[in-house]
Every structure is written in C-alpha cells, then in structure tokens.
Amino acid sequence: MTIFRYAPVVAERFPAVVGGVIHATGLRNGPAPGPLAAAFVEEQAAAIGRVGATPLSEVPALAAWRRAFRAFGVDPTQYRSAAEALLRRLTKGGALPAINALVDLANLVSIRYALPVAVFDLARVAGGALTVTVAAGTESWADIGASETDHAARGEVVFLDDEHVVHARRWCWRQSAASAARDDTTDVLVTVEGHHEAAVEDVARAMADLEDLLGRFGSPSGVRLGVVTAREPSFA
C-alpha cells in the first residue's frame, strides 16, 4: 500500500523535489532521555555557528524552499518553511523548546541540514497514507493550539489524508494538531524534503541521522526507508 506520494500536479510543478520517507513502527516516545536532550542542545549551538552572519535567505536549502512557496502563491517572509522558522528562532537568540523524543530528534536533524522534518502519527492519519497535493480550499485543518477547525487556502500545497483532512499546510509551514507526535505515539511517518541542488545528498544524510536517532531513542520494532521524487513519486 502506498503511504506517501506526490500528486501528479505537485510532481509536475516541482520537478526538483526530493523527499526522504521513513516508516517506523513499534516505537516508544515520551520526554527526551538525557543523551538526546544534550545532543539537541549541542546541535543548536552548532547550527548557530554554521549559519554565522549568513542571512537565512541565502542558505541554499532555505532559499529553495522560499522559491517553492512563491511558486504556489505564498509569501515566504510571512509564512516561513519549518526549517527556516527553527533556525530563525535560534539565530535571534532563542533556544528551541523540548517537546518529546520524536519531535526533538526531528528538530535536531532539521536544524543540522536546514531541511524541514515532519513526524506524523499514523494512528491519527485516515487510511494511514498522506498525499502532497494542491488544496481545493475545502479541506479541514486543525492548527496546533487552536480551538476551532479551519480550512486550507485554495491553491496551497498540503499534506492530505484519505478523508481530505490536512496534516500540513503550506507544504512545510506548519503541521496539524491532529497527527502531531504524542507521548503515546508508536507508528510514524517521517518526512524530510528539499528542492536545492544538493537535495539528493542532503536528504540522504538527514535520513541516515534520523534512522540512527530513531533506533537509539525510539527503539522501533520495524523501520523502512525510501526516497520519493517527481519521477518516482510514491513510497509503498
């Protein structure tokens, strides 16, 4: 069964996209253990050092996401990719909060490679499958921290499940509250995506790190990895 794919409209409009996908089952989650918490803090300091005085808009991976956002009509200075938002918070002097082990390890890898990393709880995804597609504007969406359900905007790129519920808006701007990793999450779909020239290599390195961190701190019973592109748009 296909559990992640780029819809034809996305594959056609974004031919450079590279997506790494990890399906992990039988995980344990909860507060990050000491070694992971320490590694997350260390990576934040390392990321600040790597960026230095370089404007985030000039980091190749982030610049490519800005171009992708503009291509589907979104101002990337108003709605920033998840990776840019994390790095922006860091470079402005704010540490990233600890959420839980799965979210923290995803954020660690995201700031290491300047790529958006998302962790979806598959128990809360209808059909256990996600499609990256263009919204019609009628799909439902529940923002993290919001009390009411909203809808995606027509034309934006979204992650959509089999019941037309949006699990990520503006491609990688923000994840839905519905499928965010919780302490009781056991089965996940992890995605890491890029559009820049070195995306193939960077996504592969990020996936290797994610697999290692999931193995060390999530103790999964099973892990499967794959890469999706415009030419090979499905992970089954």
Q: Please, which residues bridge with residue 133 across strands? A: 158
Question: What does the pLDDT read at residue 130?
Answer: 98
Determine the pLDDT at residue 4: 98
Is residue 132 within 8 Å of 17, Cβ to Cβ?
A: no
> Residue 146: what pLDDT?
54
Q: Considering the chain, what is the average pLDDT of its residues?
A: 95
C-alpha pair distances (Å), 96 with each of 42, 186, 219: 11, 24, 24
Q: Is 207 exposed, middle or buried (0-12, 13-18, 19+ CB in 10 A)?
A: buried
Give strand ranges (E) for 14-143. Answer: 18-25, 117-121, 130-134, 140-141
Q: What confidence score (pLDDT) does residue 123 get?
A: 97
- For residue 119, pLDDT beyond 70: yes
CA–CA separation, 229 vs 109, rounded Å? Answer: 20
Query: Which pLDDT band, with edges at 50, 70 and 90, does 195 fall under?
Result: very high
Percent of the chain at pLDDT exceeding 90: 92
**Segment 186-202 mean pLDDT:** 98
The model's pTM: 0.96
| pLDDT score, position 142 | 81
Q: Where are the domains of the chain?
A: 4-235
Region of poorest pLDDT, from 23-37, 73-87, 137-151: 137-151
Query: In this predicted model, what pLDDT tens digit does every residue of 83-100 receive, in sequence order?
Result: 999 999 999 988 999 999
Which pLDDT score, from 0 to 100, does residue 42 have? 98
Tens digits of residue pLDDT in 137-176:
999 988 765 545 688 999 999 999 999 999 999 999 999 9
Instruction: Return d(Cα 194, Cα 178) in angstroms, integer.
Output: 24
Q: How far apart are CA 33 and CA 235, in angstroms?
A: 31
Domain 4-235: state its class. Answer: alpha beta
